[in-house]
Amino acid sequence: LLCKVFRWPELRHGAPLKRLRDCCQTDDAATTEFVCCNPHHLSRLCELESPPPPYSRYPMDFLKPMAGCPDSVPSSTETGGTNCLAPGGLSDSQVIQEPGDRSHWCVVAYWEEKMRVGRLYSVQEPSLDIFYDLPQGNGCCLGQLNSDNKSQLVQKVRSKIGYGIQLTKEVDGVWVYNRSSYPIFIKSATLDNPDSRMLLVHKVFPGFSIKAFDYEKAYSLQ
């Protein structure tokens, strides 16, 4: 009811909702007498479109590793508005993780058109916020990246990133929550039919979450 009143007036009764990582309610909250009812600690679940629009088909070659991809990536620091740039003059392959660092589970790259901006960003914490401007939060701040691309299209896209997205590593897979005010587009082999020869692009509306990477499905694709 609170979600319908404060966030989504069109929400259907009984529609599935997902509790976000930021929620104050723990996984074993069912054994307690307290239940979090903050509507901003919940998201709607993305229902995959079927059939997909024609523009959303990509060849499965997208899954192949890119040539020249470095074996080592720099580790991130989880501080508010973290700068995603590597030290001056160093390439990704020259920035090595310090001994004792926890192994990363995800590597993030930010692209503008055909040019990658900033360094590769390795993720060690269970969740990562990627945003352009965010009042509070830890993660990768795209607004701090230095980009020489001044095209109107790039500037327009940057202005719409806002609160961005949240990546979370969970028991069943990697989830993406759209925190921005605009739709985002995702392609992943585990979102599609295993027998498909094309990689589809899926639209995720603001306030929705999607399981972008399913561990069980990924294992079956090996």
Domain ranges of the chain: 1-45, 48-221
Given this model, what pLDDT does residue 88 score?
36
The whole-chain average pLDDT of the chain stands at: 74
Buried b (16+ CB within 10 A) or exposed e, 20-31: bbeeeeeeeeee
- The span from the CA of 179 to the CA of 184, in Å, is 10
Q: Sorting pLDDT into bands at 50, 70 and 90, what band is 33?
A: low
Mean pLDDT of 175-188: 92
pLDDT reported for residue 206:
92
What is the reported pLDDT for 169? 92
Q: Which of 157, 156, 119, 113 is nearest to 140 (CA)?
A: 119
**Rounded Cα gap, residues 177 and 42, in angstroms:** 10
pLDDT value of residue 137: 65
Averaged pLDDT, 160-183: 92
Give the tokens for residue 184: 């985002």
CATH fold for the domain made of 48-221? Tumour Suppressor Smad4 (2.60.200)
